[in-house]
Structures are given as structure tokens and as C-alpha cells.
A and B are shown apart, each in its own frame.
Chain A
Amino acid sequence: MEVPEAGVVFWILSVVIIVSGMLVVSLKNIFHCALALVVCLFAVAGIYLLLEAEFLAAAQVLIYVGAVAILIIFAVMLTSDLAGGKITQTNENATIAFVACVMFAAGAMFLIKKTRVWDISPSGLSFDNVSAIGKYLMTEFMLPFEVVSVLLLAALIGAVVLARKERS
């Protein structure tokens, strides 16, 4: 049932993802965390490429690495003094949270390993990624597409209203 799937590229990418993800949640300096997040998001884009989702990989690089990560870095620079990386960044629940997360990961992997009902199709995706997505956006996903554009507009206006200086 296993498709030949996980080559050496996958293992390199997943090691990069997991290590940089752990750096994101564990580094003391929040600015370094943001840089590690950029590395992690890039590697996730590589995983999308392996899974034949070329458009999603490009969108990941454009939106996440280009916009969201930069936005986070801006917010970090606006809100915290970067020299003060000495303060502890984790709260007193760290140990029990670590145990809970390890147990969650182990349980999820146990469930994934036990579940054998998926019939994995031997062939890959057989169409042109970008044009198929464009067709979906204009036909089947028309309504979500419009709704999500309204959502983006609302987020834009909301962010401006929230972050604007109060007139006093």
C-alpha cells in the first residue's frame, strides 16, 4: 500500500522543519524565533513541492514568508526591546506542557499507524496544478473565494482601526 514517497529530500526537509519549529518555540530572543519561523515556513513550501502542490508552494513563499513573517518581525521590532533577550520566555507550565505535547504526538502517531483504511492511489495527481486551481476558484469555490476576499477587507480595515493612534 505504500507508495514510494519519502526520499532523502523529504527527510532533510522534515528535519529542518522540526528543528526550526523547536527553535521557534524555545529560543529566548523573540527576534531569533521569527527568523527560525521563516526557515520553517520555507521548508514547508518544499514539502508542498514534494506533494505536487506547486501553486500552494509559491503561495506559501509569497504569503507566509513574504508577508506574515515580515509582519511578525515588524511587530517584534515595534513592541520589544531586542537587547532584553535575557528574560525567560516560557512560563511555569513548561514541564507539564512538554509532557502533554509529547503524549499528544505519540497518541496521534499511534492512531495514524493503526489506521489502515485509506486506499492510497498509486498514481499521482494528473492535472496541471495552477490551471486546475484557477478553474476551481471560478466555479466550485466561487462563493468561498468572494467571502474570503470580504474577510481580507475586514481584516485590513480592522487592523487599521485597531492600530491607529487615538486622538486625545
Chain B
Amino acid sequence: MFPYLALAAILFSVGLFGVLTRRNVIGILMSLELMFNSANINFVAFNRFVATDGLIGQMFAIFIVVVAAAEAVVGLAIVLLIYRNWRGIGTDNIHVMKW
């Protein structure tokens, strides 16, 4: 099971790096998708190797996929709104709520 968990950990930290460093809001959203996927790999791997008497892990992963889809929809709508108001989606432009 270790290779799967290690893969998920590496993918999560790659996504974390993207979230921390991207200047573009859409880039941050894409990195978030990477992190969701690593969590899903963990759930499915545990389901396959440890808790084999049910499919609870896969059910959890399915619900995560659905919630991630809803999050992406609303997030991208907000991105469009930001673009319309500020003519740009860099995180440096969006500082009206900063102080």
C-alpha cells in the first residue's frame, strides 16, 4: 500500500505548492483539484487494502468528486465575476478586502 500513499502525498504537496505560489486564481483552482485527487487516491487505496469488507472509501471518493465539481462551478463563476470587475484575475489585483 505504501506506493499508493506515497503517490498521494507527493501529489498533495505538488497541489499545495501550486496553491501557495500561483498568481492566477484559475491556477489556484487547478491546484485544488490536484489536492482533491490525492485525497481520493488515499480513500480508494485504504478501501482496497485495509477495509475490504465494503465500499465505504469509494463512496466517500464519489461524494468528494461531486462536491469538487460543485466547488469548481461556483469558483469559476466567481472568477468570471472578478474578471468583469477588475479586468484581471491575478491575486495581486484583488486586494479590496485585504485590510
Contact = CB atoms under 8 A, between A and B. Distances in A.
A59 B1 CA distance: 23
Given A51-B44, A133-B58, A159-B73, A14 B49 contact: no
B59 to A, nearest CB: 5
A158 B74 contact: yes
A119 B22 CA distance: 40
Nearest to B29: A72
A3 B9 contact: no
B14 A25 contact: yes
A12 interface: no
A104 B13 contact: yes
A56 B55 CA distance: 11
A40 B41 CA distance: 13
Interface of A: 2-3, 5-6, 10, 14, 17-18, 21-22, 24-25, 30, 33-34, 37, 40-41, 44, 47-48, 51-53, 55-56, 59-60, 63-64, 67-68, 71-72, 74-76, 78-80, 87-91, 93-94, 97-98, 100-102, 104-105, 108-109, 112-113, 118-121, 123-127, 129, 132-133, 136-137, 141, 144, 148, 151-152, 154-156, 158-160, 162-163
Given A44-B40, A155-B71, 12 more contacts: A34-B30, A56-B65, A72-B29, A97-B16, A102-B13, A108-B13, A121-B50, A136-B56, A152-B69, A154-B70, A155-B70, A158-B74
